[in-house]
C-alpha cells in the first residue's frame, strides 16, 4: 500500500471517529437505554416570589437528596435576565446534570435553553408555567406544563353549578381583559353559564396596578360583593382574574354566604390561609393534604361546608416536584415524554388525584391540564 493511500485511509478513519463522537454527544437518550448516573437541576423563584414553586423544589430535595441541584432566580427577574440565564447555564456546566426543571419558566427561558443547547444538546428541559408564548418555547423545551385555562372556562361554571350556584359573578378589569387567553376564558364561561341555565354577571373592578393600587381593588371587592349578593342572592358563585383579589373575595364570601368555586390560580395556599387566619407552620409547609385538612376544618366550623373549593395541590408546587419526577423517569428510560397519558399519570400520582391532560398542538410537548377540584366540607 502506498504512502498516499495510507494517508487517505487514516484521514477517513479520523473523520469517521469525529462524526461518531459528535453523534454520541448530540443524540438524544432513547427509551430503553441504561443511564442512571445523573443529577437534575431545579430552578425556581424565591419564597417571596413563588413559595409554592420553592416548596415543590424542597419536597423534591427531601425525596431525592443526592439527585437535586436547586437554584433560585432573582425576584426582579425581568430586569436581571442575564443573571437568570447565567444560573441555568451554570447548572448545565456540570456534566452530571442531565435535566433541568425550570418553574416558573419566566422570560429569558428560551434564550437560556438555546444557549445551553449549543454545548449540551442532549440536555432535557422541563418548563413549568411558561411565560413566553407557546410558539417560542414549545420548539426548544422538551416538556411544558401549564393549567388549561380555556378549558377552565367550562369547568368553573360546572363546578359552581354542582355547588348550587344560580349565577356566576366574574370580576376583572380592562387590562386583564386585553389578554387573549383571559378574554377567551371569560367568553367560554359566559357561554357555559348559558348552557347550564346560570346567569353570567361581569363586573369591572379597579385595576390593582391603577391609581389606588391593590388596597383599592381589595376594598372594592369587600364592599361590592355584599351588594351583588343582595341583588342576586347567596347562591351566586364568585370569581376574579386577579391573585390579589382572592383573599378579600374569600373573606367576603364567608361573610355573605356566597359560593367560591376556586381561585384564578387554584391552590389551597392561594388566599385561604390569610382569609381564614390560618398559620401554615413549618411542619405542614408543602404538605397539601395537611393544609387542605386545616382549611376544611375551618370552613366546616364556619358553617360554610359545600360553598368553597379549590384544587388539591398548588400548580406551582406540582410543576417543581412533578417536573423532577418526569425528568427522572425519562432519564431512567422508564417514561416516554411524548406519551401524554403517561406524563399525565405521573403528574396525577404526585398530585394525589386524576389529571386530565391535553396537548396544545398535535404531537407537541406543550401540555395543558385540569385537576379535579375539591369542595371543602364534602
Q: pLDDT per residue over 149-208, tens digit each?
A: 889 999 999 999 999 999 999 999 998 888 777 889 999 999 999 999 999 999 999 998
Q: Are 344 and 356 in contact (CB under 8 A)?
A: yes
What value does the mean pLDDT take over residues 68-89?
90
Phi, psi of 121 (to 5 degrees): -65, -20
What is the pLDDT, as a whole number, of residue 284?
84
Same domain, 342 and 298: no
Asked whether residue 27 is domain-assigned, the answer is no
Least confident of 95-109, 150-164, 185-199, 280-294: 280-294
Other C-beta atoms closer than 10 Å to the C-beta of 374 total 20
Highest-confidence range of 280-284, 334-338, 362-366, by mean pLDDT? 334-338
Domain edge (last residue) among 258, 292, 311: 311
Same domain, 254 and 120: no
Same domain, 235 and 304: yes
Domain edge (last residue) among 267, 287, 311: 311
The CA–CA distances, whole Å, from 83 to 50, 90, 92, 114 equal: 18, 10, 14, 16
CA gap 264, 243 in Å, rounded:
7
CA gap 266, 352 in Å, rounded:
15
Same domain, 352 and 268: no
Same domain, 210 and 115: no
Same domain, 91 and 141: yes
What is the pLDDT, as a whole number, of residue 36?
53
Residues 24-46 have pLDDT tens digits of: 333 333 333 334 589 999 999 88
Same domain, 179 and 279: yes
Same domain, 156 and 262: yes
| CATH code, domain carrying 213 | 3.40.50.11390
* Residue 87: domain span: 39-148+316-373
With cell 383599592, the residue in question is: 216
Same domain, 234 and 111: no
Asked whether residue 29 is domain-assigned, the answer is no
Q: Is 70 exceeded by the pLDDT of residue 65?
A: yes
CA gap 152, 49 in Å, rounded:
25
How would you classify the pairing of strands 366-371 and 355-359? antiparallel
Work out the pLDDT band at 20, boundaries 50, 70, 90.
very low
Is residue 355 classed as helix, strand or coil in its secondary structure? strand
Non-local (6+) Cβ contacts of 248 within 8 A are 218, 219, 221, 222, 275
Domain edge (last residue) among 293, 311, 329: 311
Asked whether residue 275 is domain-assigned, the answer is yes
Q: Say what the alpha-carbon torsion angle 314, 317, 323, 329 is, to the nearest 10 degrees.
A: -100
Asked whether residue 6 is domain-assigned, the answer is no
Task: Look at 116 and 33; give whichever has higher pLDDT.
Answer: 116
Q: Count the domains in the chain.
A: 2
Half-sphere exposure (Cβ direction) of 90: Cα atoms closer than 13 Å: 13
Asked whether residue 323 is domain-assigned, the answer is yes
What is the distance of C-alpha 307 from the center of its chain? 25
Asked whether residue 324 is domain-assigned, the answer is yes
Same domain, 167 and 305: yes
| CATH code, domain carrying 125 | 3.40.50.11400
Same domain, 205 and 345: no
CA gap 248, 218 in Å, rounded:
6
Same domain, 271 and 183: yes
Amino acid at each position: 500500500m502506498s504512502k498516499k493511500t495510507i494517508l487517505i485511509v487514516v484521514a477517513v478513519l479520523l473523520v469517521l471517529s469525529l462524526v461518531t463522537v459528535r453523534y454520541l454527544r448530540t443524540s438524544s437518550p432513547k427509551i430503553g437505554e441504561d443511564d442512571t448516573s445523573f443529577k437534575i437541576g431545579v430552578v425556581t423563584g424565591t419564597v417571596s416570589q413563588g413559595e409554592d414553586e420553592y416548596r415543590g423544589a424542597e419536597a423534591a430535595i427531601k425525596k431525592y437528596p443526592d439527585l437535586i441541584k436547586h437554584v433560585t432566580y432573582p425576584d426582579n427577574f425581568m430586569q436581571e435576565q442575564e443573571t437568570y440565564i447565567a444560573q441555568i447555564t451554570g447548572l448545565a456546566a456540570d456534566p452530571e446534570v442531565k435535566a433541568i426543571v425550570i418553574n416558573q419558566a419566566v422570560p429569558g427561558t428560551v434564550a437560556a435553553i438555546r444557549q445551553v443547547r449549543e454545548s449540551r444538546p442532549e440536555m432535557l428541559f422541563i418548563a413549568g408555567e411558561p411565560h413566553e408564548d407557546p410558539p417560542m418555547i414549545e420548539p426548544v423545551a422538551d416538556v411544558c406544563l401549564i393549567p388549561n385555562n380555556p378549558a377552565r372556562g367550562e369547568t368553573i361554571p360546572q363546578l359552581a353549578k354542582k355547588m348550587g350556584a344560580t349565577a356566576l359573578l366574574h370580576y376583572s378589569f380592562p387590562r386583564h381583559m386585553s389578554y387573549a387567553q383571559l378574554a377567551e376564558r371569560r367568553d367560554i364561561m359566559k357561554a357555559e353559564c348559558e348552557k347550564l341555565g346560570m346567569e353570567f354577571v361581569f363586573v369591572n373592578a379597579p385595576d390593582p396596578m391603577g391609581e389606588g393600587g391593590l388596597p383599592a381593588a381589595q376594598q372594592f371587592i369587600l364592599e361590592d360583593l355584599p351588594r351583588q349578593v343582595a341583588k342576586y342572592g347567596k347562591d351566586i358563585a364568585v370569581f376574579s382574574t386577579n391573585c390579589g383579589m382572592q383573599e378579600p373575595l374569600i373573606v367576603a364570601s364567608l361573610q355573605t354566604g356566597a359560593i367560591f368555586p376556586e381561585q384564578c390560580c387554584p391552590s389551597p395556599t392561594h388566599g385561604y390561609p390569610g382569609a381564614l387566619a390560618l398559620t401554615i407552620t413549618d411542619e405542614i409547609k408543602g404538605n397539601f393534604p395537611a393544609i387542605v385538612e386545616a382549611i376544611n376544618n375551618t370552613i366546616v366550623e364556619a358553617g360554610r361546608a359545600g360553598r368553597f373549593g379549590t384544587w388539591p395541590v398548588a400548580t406551582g408546587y406540582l410543576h417543581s416536584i412533578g417536573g423532577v419526577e418526569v425528568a427522572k423517569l425519562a432519564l431512567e428510560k422508564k417514561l416516554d415524554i411524548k406519551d401524554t397519558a403517561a406524563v399525565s399519570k405521573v403528574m396525577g400520582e404526585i398530585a394525589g388525584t386524576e389529571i386530565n391532560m391535553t396537548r396544545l398542538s398535535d404531537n407537541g410537548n406543550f401540555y395543558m391540564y385540569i385537576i379535579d377540584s375539591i369542595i371543602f366540607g364534602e
